[in-house]
Amino acid sequence: MKMKKKLVGGLKKILVFFLFFIFYFKSGYSSQILDYETDEFINQILQDIIKVNKINKKIKFKINNSNEINAFVDINNIININSGLIVYCSDYVALLSVLAHEVGHIHLNHITHRKEKIENIKKYNTLGLLSVVAGSTITQNPQLFQGNILASAALSNQYIVFSKDQEIEADLYAIKTLNLLQTNSKSIQLLLETIEQKLLNKGFSKDKQRVSTHPYFEDRILLIQNFEDNKENIFNESYNERFNYIKAKFTGYSDNVEVLNELNEPFKTYAESIKIARNGNLKMSLKKLNDIIKKSKNNFLLETKADILFSYGYTEEATKFYKKNLEKYPLNYYAQIRIFENIETNNLSKNDTEIIFQNNKDLLYKFYNNKNILLKYFELAQKLNKKEWLQFLNFFLSNNDLEKEVFDIEIKNFKSTKDSDLLKLINIIQNVN
């Protein structure tokens, strides 16, 4: 294959280090990973959890670029899944179990109750502090300070107990889900043991676990064992194969050599092909990847190949593979974004530029925090001399991290626009932020 090379944003050796998934521009926790294959798989697992628990609402999630083995529900009831969790799950059941735990937090309204608890503790604590300050001013009695410290400790302990109770409830919810799905809990027990060992290696002793917001690991494992009632073990091999490809991909993009070496074939070779590309050997990377593509029915391998080519500056070839994947998965927003950001506008007519501007608005509305999309729209708006768009995009790119109150004040300056498309974008951003 003869490849036409066009470097994007600098030298190849620099680009290699930026080989990764597409990231959101803004995220409250860390960079958010966009990966259609992973999103579709997690959506399917969540639907299984939702169905057996008879939940009547859509549950949202996002994947964070973080090596920490963790998942959590934020204040917006969105499940945050760290990439490190996916890497360390031994199979799809481990991931399903963690997701079921987090769904339990949402279904049982734990976040609302937690906020109420915190507010009550804050209120009582503030009153306690005020009384101590007033009392010490009058009597100069140091025992009042000691009393306050003890009261604060009691309040803290109250919250710890409250939080542990919620975690136990969520664990029970996850076990119930596994029982309903007739799936055993061995992999989630293994994951808990892995997390515990890693924390112990970092100096997180048993004493520190005592004041943690989560129960002891051994207690959680014992709880799982006591409440598991499955005699049968339904293990979906198709699910697990899909998961293994995803895990291999995430492992390849991480620096986790330990997990990489434990992978079975062809997943180990897949992870190695990505890692080799990140280390600067394109030829060897493509050789390994092409060998897997010949033998595998996983169409997302072509997307990974496109990612690797893209990172080395072979944008035309990369686009061909993105389009091939898009033919198979028309809703693959990841491929859509890559194709869009690869568009060369220099030689486009004004009419063609306008068509591209209009045809990709839905992408902009959905991923308005993606910096690459914003910059491409800025480029298109420049060519079309759309002054209001240029002003707003410049503002948003420069002030994306403003506090909501300040942001809402500043954004009002743009809401007088007569451009209905721009107004729609502004309203979407304002309603979400």
Given pLDDT bands bounded at 50, 70 and 90, which one contains residue 213? Answer: low
Would you kindly state where each structural domain of the chain is located, as residue ranges? 48-227, 351-432
DSSP letters spanning 295-361? H---THHHHHHHHHHHHTTBHHHHHHHHHHHHHH-TT-HHHHHHHHHT---TT--HHHHHHHHHHTH
How far apart CA 158 and CA 162 sit, in angstroms, is: 6
Statement: the pTM of the whole predicted model exceeds 0.85: no
How far apart CA 87 and CA 274 sit, in angstroms, is: 14
CA distances from 196 to 41, 215, 385, 399, 418 (A): 27, 11, 57, 40, 57
Q: What is the pLDDT of residue 9?
A: 40
131 CB-contact burial (10 Å; exposed 0-12 / middle 13-18 / buried 19+) = middle
pLDDT tens for each residue of 127-151: 444 444 344 333 344 443 344 444 4
Residues 6+ apart with CB under 8 A from 401: 26
> What radius of gyration do the chain's Cα atoms show?
26
pLDDT tens for each residue of 155-207: 455 545 556 677 888 888 888 999 899 988 888 888 878 877 776 766 665 65
Residue 266, preceding peptide bond in cis (omega within 30° of 0) = yes
How far apart CA 177 and CA 48 sit, in angstroms, is: 9
